[in-house]
Amino acid sequence: MDSNDNSILDKKQFFLDSVAKFCDKCGTPYLPEDVNIIQNTGVSAIIHFSCHSCKSKNIATFVSPLGISNRVPVNTDLTVKEIQKFASRREVSLEDILDIYTYLKENNKISV
């Protein structure tokens, strides 16, 4: 195991200790293999927990300077890689939404 693997394992263990030790649904203790770090900026992190026992999934956010976390049960068929892909996208602006609406309306895809 190289130092990068140890660093990732240390981060996973930190999130296990700080955010979630047990599955909210069945109470099974999480293992490091159950944790996927979706995004970590150093200031905040998005962490995906998947219970190896009951298969329930949770996504948590963690704000480092404040030590605040928030967990949300997730009912999804997205893989961790897909969640990572969407988490790294920029937000959709109101202008983007208006452009799509206008396109759909002009091409008779919607009726208003």
How would residue 2 be classed by pLDDT, with cut points 50, 70 and 90?
A: low
Taking residue 43's Cβ as centre, other Cβ atoms within 10 Å add up to 10
Residue 40 lies in a domain: yes
Structural domain for 71, as ranges: 3-106
* pLDDT for residue 70: 80
pLDDT digits (tens, 9 = 90+) for 23-44: 988 999 999 999 999 988 888 8
Tell me if residue 45 falls in helix, strand or coil: strand
Residue 82 lies in a domain: yes
Residue 39 lies in a domain: yes
Residue 112 lies in a domain: no
pLDDT digits (tens, 9 = 90+) for 75-89: 677 778 888 887 777
Residue 81 lies in a domain: yes
**Both ends of the chain: CA-CA distance in Å?**
59
Residue 41 lies in a domain: yes
Q: What's the one-letter identity of residue 19?
A: V
Kindly state the average pLDDT of the residues 102-111. Answer: 83
How would residue 61 be classed by pLDDT, with cut points 50, 70 and 90?
A: confident
Q: Do residues 41 and 87 lie in contact, with contact meaning Cβ atoms separated by under 8 Å?
A: no
Number of domains in the chain: 1
Residue 111 lies in a domain: no
Nearest to 41 by CA among 23, 62, 21: 62
Residue 29 lies in a domain: yes
